[in-house]
């Protein structure tokens, strides 16, 4: 989620606070694609009609959901956010908050406020673990970390070795100059939003098995993702990775070793750490300070 935040901010200079809800809808769609037609889960009948070989294997359903969520994000960016203009970041934040509420209400209306199970794409049986140095590492956690590292490597490869990546870096550096040089910034913005939605959906699918899929599942993950991106540096993709690892380790240590801080207090404590980090280093750990000419 931190990487998704950073992708949108880096290409547009704006925050997408609806990122979590787009990912949540994508996670529900993955469940729909992986479930046989049943009245108990809205959309499975339509999916059975439109999607060959429905229900799909879990990884195929996740990929389908990532593509669908990316298309939804492109539509939101193209027809809602872009119409707010280039010089209205506050307006765009208000629009994304509005989209957050609309998408959350839509999720509740379509799939109801019911807890649903989501099958992990990795082995989850009691014996599915490996012991290293006396510590048990479950295959599910190893698989999740490996998948996310592969995603980070793929994003880095695309941004540094492809024509789209060159255009992305040009727009993120100076959108106005990039447009004058013939770079189609609109396509770059759409690509950034699409990639962020796909990555967010993947994150939702990887955690849904452990946190239970329900309409507000991504709210907590959104807060931690935003904190991680801010601590690492909103305009730094590597900072998002570092911030995500730092937030994950800090949350686990605080819940496990500080009795005063339980799971319920981990969110405000993490936000406090984010505020302290910004007071010491306003750009985050790896963020870059923007130079303004006067």
pLDDT tens for the 294 residues of the chain, in order = 899 999 999 888 888 999 999 999 999 999 999 999 999 999 999 999 999 889 999 999 999 999 999 999 999 999 988 887 665 667 878 889 999 999 999 999 999 999 999 999 999 898 899 998 888 899 999 999 999 889 999 999 999 999 999 999 999 888 888 888 888 888 999 999 999 999 999 999 999 998 889 999 998 888 889 899 999 998 888 899 899 988 888 888 887 787 777 666 777 888 888 888 888 888 888 887 665 555
> Are residue 53 and residue 103 in the same domain, yes or no?
yes
> Are residue 140 and residue 226 in the same domain, yes or no?
no
Structural domain ending residue among the three candidates 165, 199, 215: 215
> Are residue 118 and residue 45 in the same domain, yes or no?
yes
- The rounded distance, in Å, linking the Cα atoms of 291 and 280 is 19
Structural domain ending residue among the three candidates 169, 195, 215: 215
List pLDDT tens digits, range 199-208.
999 999 999 9
> Are residue 194 and residue 264 in the same domain, yes or no?
no
- Cα of 182 vs its chain's centroid, Å: 30
Residue among 263, 270, 219, 264 nearest 246 (CA)? 270
Structural domain ending residue among the three candidates 195, 215, 235: 215
- The rounded distance, in Å, linking the Cα atoms of 247 and 266 is 10
* DSSP assigned state of 83: G
Residue among 247, 245, 238, 244 nearest 271 (CA)? 247
> Are residue 17 and residue 71 in the same domain, yes or no?
yes
Cα diameter, the chain: 63
pLDDT at residue 294 in the model: 55
> Are residue 183 and residue 280 in the same domain, yes or no?
no
User: Residue 118 phi/psi, 5° resolution?
Assistant: -135, 120
- The rounded distance, in Å, linking the Cα atoms of 112 and 96 is 23
Q: Which domain holds residue 116?
A: 2-215
> Are residue 188 and residue 239 in the same domain, yes or no?
no
> Are residue 172 and residue 240 in the same domain, yes or no?
no
> Are residue 185 and residue 141 in the same domain, yes or no?
yes
> Are residue 80 and residue 126 in the same domain, yes or no?
yes
List pLDDT tens digits, range 232-243.
998 888 899 899
pTM of the full predicted structure? 0.91
* DSSP assigned state of 138: E
> Are residue 60 and residue 139 in the same domain, yes or no?
yes
What's the domain count of the chain?
2
> Are residue 245 and residue 211 in the same domain, yes or no?
no
Quick one: tokens of 158? 């695309």
The answer to whether the peptide bond before residue 150 is cis (omega within 30 degrees of 0) is no
């Amino acid at each position: 989620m931190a990487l998704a935040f950073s992708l949108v901010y880096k290409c547009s200079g704006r925050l997408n606070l609806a990122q979590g809800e787009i990912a949540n809808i994508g996670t529900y769609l993955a469940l729909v694609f992986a479930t046989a037609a049943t009245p108990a889960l809205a959309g499975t009948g339509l999916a059975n009609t439109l999607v060959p070989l429905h229900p799909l294997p879990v990884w195929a359903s996740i990929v389908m959901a990532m593509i669908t969520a990316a298309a939804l994000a492109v539509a939101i960016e193209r027809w809602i956010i872009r119409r707010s203009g280039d010089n209205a970041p506050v307006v765009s934040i208000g629009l994304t908050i509005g989209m957050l509420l609309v998408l959350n209400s839509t999720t509740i209306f379509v799939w109801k406020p019911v807890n649903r199970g989501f099958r992990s794409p990795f082995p989850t049986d009691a014996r599915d673990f490996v012991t290293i140095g006396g510590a048990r590492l479950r295959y599910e956690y190893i698989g999740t970390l490996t998948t996310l590292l592969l995603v980070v490597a793929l994003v880095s490869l695309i941004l540094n070795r492809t024509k789209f990546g060159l255009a992305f870096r040009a727009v993120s550096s100076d959108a106005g100059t990039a447009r004058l040089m013939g770079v189609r910034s609109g396509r770059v913005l759409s690509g950034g939003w699409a990639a962020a939605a796909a990555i967010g959906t993947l994150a939702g699918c990887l955690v849904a098995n452990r946190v239970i899929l329900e309409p507000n599942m991504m709210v907590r993950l959104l807060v931690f993702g935003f904190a991680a991106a801010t601590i690492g540096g909103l305009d730094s993709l590597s900072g998002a990775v570092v911030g995500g690892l730092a937030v994950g380790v800090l949350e686990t240590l605080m819940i496990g070793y500080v009795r005063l801080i339980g799971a319920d207090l981990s969110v405000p404590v993490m936000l406090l750490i984010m505020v302290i980090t910004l007071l010491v280093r306003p750009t985050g750990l790896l963020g870059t300070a923007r130079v303004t000419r006067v």
